[in-house]
């Protein structure tokens, strides 16, 4: 993620996911994330084109012993979906988890109607529905 062009492609992907952001704001976020040792960003490219990315965090849990891996973002460019790339990302994360003694991968997925395909995808890849998430903006 060195060039403005790469970051611009990431902003387009985040927009597809429903989280629009400017190139400048994403650059700032990525600089902060790059200095966090438990944050990981993985990018899939086709030639010079960013076609998918996943951001995750390794964290320790209060509710049980051990680390978990929280997927914060996973997006595949629309025209590359249903070709196995999302499954490859999740398989990569499972291997990453095994290598780092992590025994659980968790994620949240929005409950908007357009996320139903993503929910089916996660279920098909061995995830189960285990909680309901809440959020509150603080101004």
* Structural domains of the chain, ranges and CATH numbers in brackets: 38-124 (3.40.630.30)
Q: Can you tell me the distance from the alpha carbon of 125 to that of 103, in angstroms, rounded to the nearest whole number? A: 16
Mean pLDDT of 57-73: 92
If pLDDT is split at 50, 70 and 90, which confidence band does 132 have? Answer: confident
Q: What is the pLDDT of residues 66-77, one digit of tens each?
A: 999 999 999 999
Model pTM?
A: 0.87
Q: What is the pLDDT of residues 11-35, one digit of tens each?
A: 999 998 888 999 999 999 999 999 9
DSSP 96-128: HHHHTTEEEEEE----SGGGHHHHHHHHHTT--
């Amino acid at each position: 993620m060195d060039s403005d062009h790469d970051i611009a492609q990431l902003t387009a992907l985040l927009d597809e996911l429903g989280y629009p952001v400017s190139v400048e704001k994403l650059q700032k976020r990525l600089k902060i994330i790059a200095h966090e040792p438990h944050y990981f960003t993985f990018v899939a490219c086709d030639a010079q084109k960013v076609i998918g990315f996943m951001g995750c965090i390794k964290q320790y849990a209060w509710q049980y012993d051990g680390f978990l891996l929280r997927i914060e973002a996973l997006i595949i460019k629309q025209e590359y979906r249903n070709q196995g790339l999302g499954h490859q990302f999740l398989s990569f994360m499972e291997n990453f988890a095994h290598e780092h003694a992590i025994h659980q991968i968790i994620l949240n997925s929005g409950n908007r109607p357009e996320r139903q395909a993503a929910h089916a995808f996660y279920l098909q890849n061995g995830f189960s529905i285990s909680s309901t998430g809440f959020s509150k903006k603080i101004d």
